[in-house]
Amino acid sequence: MWSRLALALVCLAACNRVFGLDEVQPPDASANDTRLGVSRRPGGWLPTSLSDEGSLDWVHWALGAEPAALNRKAGVTPLITDVLRVRGTLVAGSATGLGAMSWTDGTPTQMATGSKDFLQLESALASGDGFELEVRAGERRVATVYAGSFCVDSKLEARLGDLTEVVTSGEDLLGTTYTIDFASAAGGTLTLGFAVESNACTTGDLGELWLVGVTVAPAQ
């Protein structure tokens, strides 16, 4: 004789198969695995090989004091965009106090050494001018931004999905390194915004934001 409990269990299993309920699975936690962290190191950097630091991708701006010059890692699917949504005036700059940049695997310039050039945004506004760039997200990676500033306090804002991290910096003529640790199992885009937080030089020699290069490598 079947007990009432056994019959109930058989009925429940059959109903689940009929209505497809036994195929329902709990959400995959990895599908929502998004992480974002930002750190800042002021005071410049040692001479840097973008080829070594950017094993997945790298970009360098304004080689030869040409504001339109953009060099990137050759032979890979690009992860890093050019600057986007610019507010202010873009020119080229160079500063002897910065650590030199070099690379051996670039395009269109295959090799470069000793570069202290950068893309320079000049601003006559008290705040708000700046630009953005984007980095493709996926498995856990580290993006490094080499930047600097003159006569302004600056702000780096990183956005990935619903996460946002903001780091501020005072004037830094020697350069600042920002490190962004990020991952998104769902893919998507890491957006990096670099903006003037406050500008002490709105006439004459204008306040400046400097963008030297960006690298992307796997997280260690």
Q: What is the pLDDT of residues 158-206, one digit of tens each?
A: 999 999 999 999 998 999 999 999 999 999 999 999 999 999 999 999 9
What are the strands, taking DSSP E only, across 98-171? 101-103, 106-107, 112-115, 117-123, 130-136, 141-150, 152-160, 163-169
Cα separations in angstroms, 36 against 53, 124, 178, 219? 20, 32, 13, 12
* Tens-digit pLDDT profile for residues 59-118: 999 999 999 999 999 999 999 999 999 999 999 999 988 999 999 999 999 999 999 999
Domains of the chain, by residue range, sit at 30-218
Q: Give pLDDT, residue 32.
A: 52
What's the rounded Cα separation, in Å, for the pair 72 and 96?
Answer: 23
Is the confidence at residue 138, as pLDDT, over 90? yes
Confidence tier at 131 by pLDDT (50, 70, 90): very high
Query: Across all residues in the chain, what is the average pLDDT?
Result: 88
14 or 145, which is more confident: 145
Fold classification of 30-218 is Jelly Rolls (2.60.120)
What's the rounded Cα separation, in Å, for the pair 204 and 202?
Answer: 7
The reported pTM is 0.84
Question: What torsion do the CA atoms of 94, 96, 99, 105 make, to the nearest 10 degrees?
Answer: 50
* Closest among 156, 157, 192, 152 to 172, alpha carbons compared: 152
